[in-house]
Amino acid sequence: MTSGVVFIRIMPTYICFRKMTAMILEKLSIIELEVKYNIYLEQNKLKAIRSIRELLGQIDFEAEVVPTDDIEKLSELLNSLKGRTLNEEEIELLRRLIG
């Protein structure tokens, strides 16, 4: 009879432990996705940095007037060098550089 009582007490604890474990694993998965997404965003920022650096390297500073205080004019110059419009990350980087 005592073993039956102990079994009943252990079973809910075991079920509770499994639920807690499942909850922890679910939270761990969510954290993993957040980290992966942040890595993705940071990689895009690195690409933007490399792109802007490359575009600035193409400028002949003796022949060109580089508008370092006007984001619109600088964007136009870099768009021209790139051959297409700057992407969102590149524009955001210019805002950080000039802003």
Over residues 40-49, the pLDDT tens digits come to: 999 999 999 9
Q: What 8-state DSSP symbol labels residue 60?
A: -
For the cut 70, the answer to whether the pLDDT of residue 2 exceeds it is no
Residue scoring higher pLDDT (22 or 11): 22
Domain ranges of the chain: 2-98
Q: Determine the Cα–Cα distance for residues 48 and 92; give it in Å rounded to an integer.
A: 9
User: What is residue 92's predicted lDDT score, i.e. its pLDDT?
Assistant: 96
Helix segments in 1-99, DSSP class H? 2-57, 71-82, 88-98
Over residues 48-82, the pLDDT tens digits come to: 999 999 999 999 988 988 898 999 999 999 999 99
User: What is residue 65's predicted lDDT score, i.e. its pLDDT?
Assistant: 87
